[in-house]
Structure 1
Amino acid sequence: MGTIGELGEFALIARLTRRLAPGPDVRLGPGDDAAVIAAPDGRVVATTDLLVEGRHFRLDWSGPYDIGRKAAAQNLADVVAMGARPTALLVGFAAPPGTDSDWAERLYDGLADECRAAGASVAGGDVVAAPAVTLAVTALGDLGGAAPLTRSGARPGDVVAVRGRLGHAAAGLALLTGGRAGPAELIAAHRRPEPPYRAGEEARSHGATALLDVSDGLVQDLGHIADASGVRIEVESSRVPVPEILGPDGLRHALTGGEDHAFAATFPPDTVPPPSWTVIGTVAEGAGVVVDGREPPTGAWDHFPT
């Protein structure tokens, strides 16, 4: 297949874009100076993330397909966390010229398949040579005429609930760091998150007052809701879903581990969250997050570690 350097920029773009099937929201896809995306609501939800080799993924731990799915998932989840429907991704792809072209194709297969799972598609982007693999992904979404679900709507008396896996990706990372090969389910969770993309629709339909994507750790992310809403969030550890597979450190992984891209929401006290959600606490007067009335464990994700 050769390398992407041997192919050259335009042949590489042609090969990659042939793998992308524009969805109904993409009115004009790759091939022009810019894409055209439908915006029926008249507003566009937009978010962007960077993934850098050695910081967000390791090539000896994750293959290109999984890296592509992870890159798409973490951006699509942010759109869903606003209560919006994902419509399109724009992808900037940088890699060493010696990268195999089939590696790049598998990366884009992963991007396209994750978009398909969320009802979106890759609408365009750019490619460039760089010393390390880097992905800059922008996700777009449509609110369908509704107000965005933000972090600032939680009120005292609300209940706090979560949807999706917690701690699995962190446990998988710990296994890989320790040189262990299993449980395979946890390692797969680190390589490829599985956001429950229906969470935004479910939360909105049941009157959620606040919603966010759990990307940096449950306690840390609930702290964003607490700060934005001017409240205290009280978590009961016995109600946090901790499956046996997470092992003896399961609760710590569930409270502080990121990259599962589950969702956390607050709902009015007289509202029963959807059955797929698990109530883990309440909103009270005050500030910050407590677990069982005490300061929570630390260790959440930080993009700028000291």
Structure 2
Amino acid sequence: MSIISTVICSSFFIFCILFLGTLSGIFSERAGIVNIAINGFIIFGATMYALITYIFTDKFGNQTAISPWWQILTSPLAALLTGAFAMVFGYTTIKLKSDQTISGFAMNVLVAGIALLIFLSIRSAQGEGHVVSFRKTNELAIGKSFTNISNLISYKTFVVIAIGIAAFFALKFTRWGVRFRSVGENPQASDVAGINVLKMKWQGIFISGFIAGMAGAIYSQIRIDTVSTTGDVQGLGFLALAIMITSQWKVHWAALISLMFALLYGFSYYGITSIQALNNLKIRELFYTLPFFTTLVIMIFTSKRSFGPAAAGIPYDKSQR
């Protein structure tokens, strides 16, 4: 039962990150901007959340744990900072009309350097080893243990459900959503129809950064040991990018495919280590490649049928009609 509980809880945690990361990409590309910086934005959100928590616990809290209820404030704050940081990506792609793929790669590299610098500074200030400490500030959840099944009833659950439902209805059933999606399909026609194309693109970038920042905050709260030592989020942002393409840029399919990937990821990383017989195998590290290998196979078979927003990756030039 403990193995099943571990796999379920860890898979749901991974699902939260993957689904939010996928939504981040959807909002960006629906506005006509290719975003391969999802992983970087998630890392930035995780870094900002760690920095904010450090300020609350060490600077203002006299090195004591803060109430988990503070996460209702600190998580959105980290997400807002990530959304603001995403404006740098927006400036290069919207204002300067640079190559969006290269700009996204540059953002990933930039964030990696920023994250390592901030985490190094926090670790040095805390002086407690190579891992940033949250001073035993627990996750806002009924179950205090990450592997306890009651942990599913948590702040992250409500956040993911709320953002997922809001994204689905906003893109599909609102006037704003129709106008927003039209910008990614034919910005020139949208401009003729009276839609402020550039404004929509800026909104898409900010929303993309905000959602990725929320994913980073959730990741940082649970896996601060990993992100503070490696400056990475296990490459989940790149998996989210693949899920976005596989889901055909649709929110409901993104949720389903994210869940499937999360179950595979959870078993590969956490289930295997819980099964002693497999844990003793020298080849158990190969199981860690399953999510990425599966992603590659699915991409091969679905890429020919994947048709994203028509204007994605093409800088908008108002003079072209």
Give the alignment's TM-score, normalised by structure 2. 0.27
Bigger fraction of residues in helix: 2
Greater relative contact order (CA < 8 Å, ≥ 6 in sequence): 2
Give the alignment's TM-score, normalised by structure 1. 0.28
